[in-house]
Every structure is written in C-alpha cells, then in structure tokens.
C-alpha cells in the first residue's frame, strides 16, 4: 500500500516551499498537480517521477474533484508514494479537506504539509502586513467566487463590511465591482485603502493600491486579472512604507534564460531573487550518450591516461555516471595523472566526485588550456578529452600538435528543444537575453526563423565569454555584454553591472 501527501506548494516563489514539501517531492513516485500554481516546483520533483496534471491541460478538461480523489486512491493502491501538490496551502480554498476525506474513506494513509497561503504572502510581497499594531488586529480571508448580487450567496458581504480588521478576498477579481459596492453599502468607508496583487511572490507580480471605491477601475486600468489577492483595510495603505520588492536591482526587467531546462534553475532563481521577471526558454537539452565503443574503451582503460581534460559540468557528470555503471569511481583514475578542468564550475563538479583538478587554466576556453600546458612535454602522452559530441576542434588539434596521443570521447550531445511561440514572443520583448554556450546561441537564432538575428527583439544580449560571443557575431547577433569571468556567476555579475548603468 502506498501513501499520499497533500503538500502546499506555496504562493509561487519556489523559495517559499517548506523543507518537508521539498523532501517529499524529491522522493515521490508520482506527483498529482494543478499546473497553475505549482509549475515553479517542477525542478524539485524527482526526475523519473510520473506527473499527473489534475488542472486544465491545453485541449483537455481538468479532472473533476471526484476524478482527482479517485486518482489519488488508485495511485496509492498501486503501492506508489504519491504527492498531491496544491497551490498555496492545501486547506485554504484548495479542496484539500475533500481529498483527505476520500483517502480516509479508502483507508489510504496520508500526511498533510501546510503551505504558505497566497492570502498572506501576496500582500506581504506587496509590502502589506495583514495585521499591524493599532491598524488591524485581525484579518478575514474569504472567497469572492460567489456572486454578490445573487440570492443564496454564502458570503454575507453586509456582515463582512462590519467585521473590523483586514479583509482578504481570493478569487474575487471577476466580481470586484459588485464586492466593493456591497461592502460600501454594508458600511465600509468608500475611501478605505484597498489593493490588488496579481501573481504575488512570482517574478510577474503586479499590484495596484487604491481605495475600496476606486480599486475596480484602477485594476481595470492597470489590466490586472487573475490570479490575484484583494486586500481591503487600512493596512493596504502601508504598502508605500513597508514595500520592498520594487527596490531590487533587476525589478521590472525581463530576462531570458536559454540554458537547458535541467541546468537553468540556479541562474533563474538568482535572477528572480534579484527581482527579474525570468523567462525560461530552454533552446537545447543535454542528452547523455550512454554507450559507444569509445566510451567502453575509455572506461576500461581509464587508468592508462596520464592526463584527463574535462570541459564542462555535464562532461564530469557523464564521465562518472559511465564509470559507475562499470563499477568504477574516482579511484579508477591514476592518482598521478594530471586532471585539467575548464572553469571553476567544472572544477567544483570534479571535486564533488573526489577528484581535485591539478590544473584550472585562467582562461576558460580551449586556448587557455593549451597556453597553460605550453612548455610541458606531451610527446606520446595518453590524454583523454571527455566532452560534448559537437565540441570545437581547437583543443584536440592543439594537444595533438604538441605530440599527445588524444582520445576524444563524446559523453553527451546537445539536442534542439522547441519552445512555444508564446515563450519566444515573450523573449523578443525581454530586456536581456542570456547565453551560456555557443550551442544555445545557434539554436536560438535558428528558432527566430527567416527574420534571423534581426528579429531577436529588443533585448540586450549577454554572453558568458568570447567563444559564445564570437558565435553570436558570426550569426549577426550583436553582443552588448560579455562576462569578464566566464562562469554563470560571472555572467550574472556582468548583467547586474549593465542594468545598474543603463
Ligand atoms: N490554496 C491557495 C488558494 C487557492 S484559490 C492558497 O492558499 O493560496 C486560488 C486563488 O488564490 C486565486 O484566484 C487567487 O485569488 C489566489 N492566488 C493564488 N496564488 C496567487 C498568487 N501568486 N498571487 C495572487 N493571488 C494568488
């Protein structure tokens, strides 16, 4: 018998997932999610876990609540570890209670992991404390989903108007005018501060602060829609004093990350924390090459290499994966061999596998390695260069010219991804386009189609280093910013400096 965890995903910022929630996602066999409100957590789900979308998928209706309940029961009966991931808190307008009751009835063991609810978090990210000494000593959270003009409405706006303190309305955007009118009719002052926060805690957060009377028009003028939290009460007037989100260095800037999905999350999270609206536009993906005669020969004879050159984190991960499959690990490598890493991230990845590189050239490009090796006697030396299938020839040619006997082994390849037209349009309207490798530049320009680089949009192009920049220029893509240190943190630093100057 499996088990089910009802897990709150938090309001949108992935940093607001609980530690327990993250643990459960990392161990889940299957995750049942509503795409809206949970997509940001996909990177935390164990790779290989099955995803079941209970929300609306394109061209298909959402599962009904009864179908969702049944799905949870069936999956658990298959003996699976099931995580039911729900936006915000599972018990705040999340129907988590119904799912728990269905599980209890079916005799399935379950656990509930509360989440940070948008009703508190979205105001907080807008600088609105839901309670504040001497301003509001209570807050009430209601759904605005019900029609305030209809009889039989379960929400009594007349009573709510008289409850002192802050009123937080979820799902109320579609009926905002009716709600405001009903509250004013019930006695709430028309000039009481009120705010709406859309996409709270996410990089797309937008908000307006007005009064109860003017909020519906202000929201319409600003084009705010669902999902949004409406806050009514004097605390909404504190947004100007308590607000903090708009002060971040990349606030209001849209930044495109073109890295492979599996590698994008670190950069995306850093950008989002700095206030950027991040558009993940993975244009490539990394596909391991699990078997080839070269790989078999390399793993069998790895101890014979006197020098091993690793050019990327992917290369390191794949090398050790292949070694492990054959019962090997760091100890399979000759301890006296020289291990060379291009770039600090590659060096770190090696160290994580227990291999301290003997050489990390100052310039993180093939030419940097050749320079660093100049003067050494490589004549007849067996050298392994482990890397991507489509890598540049300079390094291997250079080593051979120095007399080395080089085995070049492809451990992975980069394949094209096909982002949606919608994401591509969002990218064209971005402030920055970031590129961490030549392969991503090439594929991005490919995706632009007939317009070529000229149709890349208005974004400033940020490149990780000279090789990536050269590829961009070859394809007529102007490079505005090049990182001085050719690492992802270096790229971020260069982008920040540019944004501060612009
Ligand atoms: N269980 C969720 C609420 C689900 S009801 C929670 O605890 O947050 C869905 C409603 O929540 C939306 O219509 C909207 O009113 C609100 N909501 C969810 N995420 C939001 C966000 N990031 N920003 C603003 N409102 C959000």
Whichever domain contains 58, its CATH number is 3.40.1010.10
Last residue in a domain, options 414, 440, 471:
414
Cα angle value 463/250/10 (rounded, 5°): 110
16 and 112 share a domain?
Answer: yes
Q: What residues contact 3, with CB distance under 8 A and at least 6 apart?
A: 76, 81, 82, 108, 109, 110, 111
Instruction: Report yes or no: 481 and 461 within 8 Å, Cβ to Cβ.
Output: yes
501 or 120, which is more confident?
Answer: 120
What are the angstrom distances between the C-alpha of 300 and each of 252, 290, 295, 323?
A: 53, 15, 8, 9
- Residue 171: give its domain's CATH number: 3.30.950.10
Q: What residues contact 446, with CB distance under 8 A and at least 6 apart?
A: 416
- What are the catalytic residues? 34, 56, 171
- Residue 378: give its domain's CATH number: 3.40.50.10090
Each residue's pLDDT tens digit, 424-457: 999 999 999 999 999 999 999 999 988 889 999 9
Domain that holds residue 177: 120-245
124 and 230 share a domain?
Answer: yes
Instruction: Report yes or no: 166 and 238 within 8 Å, Cβ to Cβ.
Output: no
428 and 471 share a domain?
Answer: yes
Mean pLDDT computed over 108-133: 97
* Phi (first) and psi of residue 237, to 5 degrees: -75, -10
Centre of ligand 1 from the C-alpha of residue 170, in Å? 6
If you search the block for the tokens 């670190």, which residue do you land on?
A: 266
Centre of ligand 1 from the C-alpha of residue 143, in Å? 10
- Spell out the long-range contacts of 329-332 with Cβ–Cβ below 8 A and sequence spacing 24 or more: 329/353, 329/354, 330/354, 330/355, 332/299, 332/302, 332/303
Gap between the Cα atoms of 448 and 454, Å rounded: 9
**pLDDT score of 10:** 97
**Which residue of 142, 202, 227 sits with most ligand 1 atoms within 8 Å of its CB, as the best mutation to test the pocket?**
227
Q: How many domains does the chain have?
A: 4
**pLDDT score of 144:** 92
Each residue's pLDDT tens digit, 209-226: 999 999 999 999 999 999
> Which of 151-165, 241-255, 322-336 holds the top average pLDDT?
322-336
172 and 193 share a domain?
Answer: yes
If you search the block for the tokens 């160290």, which residue do you land on?
A: 351
278 and 346 share a domain?
Answer: no
If you search the block for the tokens 């090997």, which residue do you land on?
A: 328
For residue 463, give the H/E element and its range: strand 460-463
If you search the block for the tokens 């007399």, which residue do you land on?
A: 403
**pLDDT score of 116:** 98
186 and 38 share a domain?
Answer: no
349 and 407 share a domain?
Answer: yes
Name the pTM for this structure.
0.71
Tokens of 147: 């029609």
Q: Which residues line ligand 1 (CB under 6 A)?
A: 11-12, 37, 87-89, 92-94, 117-119, 122, 170-171, 197-202, 226-229
């Amino acid at each position: 018998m499996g088990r089910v965890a009802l897990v709150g995903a938090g309001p949108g910022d992935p940093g607001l997932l609980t530690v327990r929630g993250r643990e459960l996602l990392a161990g889940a066999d299957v995750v049942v999610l509503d795409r809206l409100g949970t997509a940001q957590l996909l990177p935390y789900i164990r790779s290989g876990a099955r995803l079941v979308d209970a929300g609306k998928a394109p061209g298909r209706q959402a599962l009904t609540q009864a179908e969702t309940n049944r799905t949870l029961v069936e999956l658990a009966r298959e003996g699976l570890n099931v995580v039911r991931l729900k936006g915000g808190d599972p018990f705040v307008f999340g129907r988590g209670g119904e799912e728990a009751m269905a599980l209890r009835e079916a005799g399935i063991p379950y656990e509930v992991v509360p989440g940070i609810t948008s009703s508190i978090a979205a105001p907080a990210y807008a600088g609105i404390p839901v309670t504040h000494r001497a301003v509001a000593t209570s807050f009430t959270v209601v759904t605005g989903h019900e029609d305030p003009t209809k009889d039989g409405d379960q929400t009594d706006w007349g009573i709510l108007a008289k409850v002192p303190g802050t009123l937080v309305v979820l799902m109320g955007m579609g009926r905002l005018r009716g709600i405001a009118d009903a509250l004013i009719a019930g006695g709430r002052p028309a000039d009481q501060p009120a705010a709406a926060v859309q996409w709270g805690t996410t990089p797309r957060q937008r908000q307006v602060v007005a009064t109860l009377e003017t909020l519906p028009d202000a929201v319409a003028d600003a084009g705010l829609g669902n999902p949004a939290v409406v806050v009514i009460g004097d605390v909404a007037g504190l947004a100007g004093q308590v607000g903090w989100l708009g002060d971040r260095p990349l606030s209001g800037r849209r930044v495109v990350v073109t890295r492979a999905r599996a590698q994008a999350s670190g950069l995306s999270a850093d950008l989002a924390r700095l206030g950027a609206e991040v558009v993940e536009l993975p244009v490539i993906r990394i596909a391991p090459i699990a078997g080839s005669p070269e790989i078999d020969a390399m793993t069998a004879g790895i101890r014979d290499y006197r020098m091993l050159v690793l050019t990327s984190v992917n290369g390191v991960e794949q090398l050790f994966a292949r070694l492990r499959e054959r019962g090997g690990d760091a100890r399979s490598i000759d301890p006296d061999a020289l291990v060379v890493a291009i770039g600090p991230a590659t060096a770190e990845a090696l160290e994580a596998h227990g291999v301290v590189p003997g050489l990390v050239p100052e310039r993180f490009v093939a030419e940097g390695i050749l320079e660093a090796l100049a003067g050494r006697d490589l004549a007849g030396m067996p050298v392994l260069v482990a890397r991507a299938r489509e890598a540049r020839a300079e390094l291997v040619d250079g080593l051979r010219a120095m007399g080395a006997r080089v085995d070049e082994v492809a451990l992975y390849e980069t394949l094209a991804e096909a982002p949606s037209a919608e994401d591509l349009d969002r990218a064209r309207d971005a402030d920055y386009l970031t590129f961490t490798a030549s392969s991503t530049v090439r594929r991005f320009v490919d995706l632009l189609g007939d317009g070529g680089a000229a149709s890349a949009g208005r974004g400033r192009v940020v490149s990780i280093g000279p090789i990536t920049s050269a590829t961009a220029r070859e394809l007529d893509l102007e490079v505005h910013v090049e990182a001085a240190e050719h690492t992802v943190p270096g790229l971020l630093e260069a982008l920040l400096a540019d944004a501060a100057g612009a």
